[in-house]
Structure 1
Amino acid sequence: MTTLAAHQHTTARWATTWTQLLEAHMTPALLAEGRALADSPATGALQVAQGFATTKITTHIGELRPRIDVPQLSETDWDAVYESIAAQPDIITSARTQAVTDLLTDPQYTAGIPILPAAEELTFTCSCQPEPGPCLHTAALGQMIANRARTVPIVLFTLRGRAHQHLKTYLRRRGNTATQPQPAPASPKTLLASPPVFAQTVLAQDARYRPVYLPHTPPLTGGSTTPVLESVTEQPPASCLPLQALSALVHAAADRATELLNGVPDPSAGLAADLARFTASTPGEAYTEQAAHQLGLPYAQMRQLTAAHRCGGNAAVETFLYTTDPGPEILAQAEEAIQPLRPSPFATLARDGNRLTDPAARIQLRYGPDRRWHPYIEQFGDWRVVPEPHSDPARAYKAARGALRR
């Protein structure tokens, strides 16, 4: 069996193998057209869930929703895959990151259970046609999955039924159990010399609750101190990120740690939310283009994700990316709340999932996972997020009108 060191760890085979699955269903010409459409501004963000992937494509006949379905692995299959990965020490390190080694595309490394589906297991559907089957839009969606898998293959884990986070948690717990020291058996003399169990318990409790006083340290004046990051001037090796990028990441991590210490919740929406949080920070703003490339998004759309995070955090990013179904009652209540505020009260209101659109006013409200309405305004033919989201749809509608006036 080839080891990771001998393989010279790459992730390219994930995308290559996925593309071969597409080639079993589509002609080279269709795949080429799909590749061009995937890079077009008309194509929205890639959305991957357990068992299927989809996206939104704007065309002259309206908004289309291509979808690719694959069968999910069973819980028993996943457990066997995890056991196999955990038994290969040279693979564990990469399996804990987003750049999982493409050795795992070979079932011999995953207990004989393929993480990638077989070609005949793929199902293609699209709202452009009544019958299932490949089309230009599903070809574009397939190319988007390949592009993402080329550098972030964990998207294929989600597609097959389990988020990569489960594997990381499993490996972490397994490692903790394996490295935990086992107490040596006590000799009879040790047992006789030790104090009674009750006395041991009392001593342990005394040690636990005894106050600990930190040594006195003089206050920092700031006059003669230099932040560690600013004192580093030598660039790291060529294989690492440049010093400026490392500094930006450290600043972003420090800001997030401060938020968590202050009790700010972290309902993560995944990689997109993490990158949007980074590019929304002052040090990370310069890396918006790299973040867009990492997510496979147009630069303008990454700017929108960044703006969404600034307006409403991770929930705003998820609301920007995904269309959900909150139910007709919530939308009906929102319609009633905003009706007195509409400049054209008799104009038609449009519903689309969690989105309530007032075309005449150029305003759209999107209901997010944080149970708040996120305001959007129409500019240059596109919907742009504006502050501030609110649980009251009327307040969110007023925020959108104010943004339009400004």
Structure 2
Amino acid sequence: MLRSRARRFVWIPASIALALAGCSADAGSVADGAAGAAPAAQGAASAPTRTGTPQLRVSTVAAGLAHPWDLGLLPDGQVLVSERGGRLALVSGTAPGAIVTPVAADFGDVLVRGEGGLMGLVVHPDFAQSRRFTTCQTHTGGGGDVRLITWQLAVDGRSAARVADPLVGGLPVSPSGRHSGCRPTLAADGALLVGTGDTARSTVPQDLTSMGGKVLRVDLATGGPAAGNPFADAAAAAQRLIWTYGHRNVQGVAVRPGTGEVYTAEHGPGTDDEVNRLRAGGNYGWDPSQGGTVGGYDESVPMTDLARFPDAVPAMWSSGRPVEAIAGAAFIDGPQWGALDGALAVAALRGSKLLIMTLGRDGAVASVGVPIELDGTFGRLRAVRTGPDGALFVTSSNGSGDVLLRITPV
């Protein structure tokens, strides 16, 4: 069914954006959103520097999806959608009423448990020739891991076959599926960036021999480390893939047009979801083991623990309490967006909203806006991608009857 409305939305200075409310934790996550004792946000930004917004039009392109985790826009105008239960769908276009066709592919080894399953998806830049795309999944084999697998879509779009299985394997996975990540995005230079989760294991985020709680930077063709990685000479193969570390559960990765800067959206525990700007080799300060002094997974520690890690990279924005459970993220790009051109759009699962964040000259979040049309209207929101025409594409993630949305300025 088509939903198409034009509404204004209210700007909220980042300094008071901490009051944005939430309802329930991420599905499959027992502890996400549980009360914690971490201090108030360290990365909260100053008052907004820009005002004025265009009207927005939100249209339902397709409905009847189930936990659509990610999407990829194809050169011919169709959309690939990954569903967490181990399904891939091809949406016939980006106009309302598009036809959704299942894509036959072997997902028999997808471990669907908790937050795990078939997750992120990225379309290769040469798709028009190669018809290749890469997905991320929790995997049943060999004791279980998280894997990136490259596929080739048939010419008729009705099936896909594996061509690199895995492209990258051995990412850790939790028996419960908790904090599985896993968001792939192409960097400006063509490298594959992959945000991962710490699997709710206390030592993983600071362990440079583990790919959990990291952002990886991978050669899309070989699965090896991309040229210029900060730990390229490390003895451990996993460490050579690492771009940044000390993360909790990276759910969004976005590349800023014009600069190539990389921003991530990351789940906090009971406080401080974070938006981070990545710095090669940077430590983002999450350490629920407290240096190995606690045996369990201590979620009362700060998301960015500057006391333990004085050189940790501070967040560009923190939610404070309660968390929104922020997920997919993408930059808004195009002059048709007016004052929002260059803003960062971030989906919220718990908060059931889309957050529009403008950036100051220092790269920190200067203001946060919540479009009325996307404030609780479609429930939990997960994926956000920017189309070639500048439109935003967003998925809901409620479990059944989920939708693919197209958002444009009026």
Fold match (TM-score > 0.5) = no
What TM bracket, shorter-length normalisation? under 0.3
Max Rg structure: 1
Indicate the structure with greater strand content: 2
| TM score, norm. by length of structure 2 | 0.25
Structure with more contact order per residue of length (Cα contacts < 8 Å, sep ≥ 6): 2
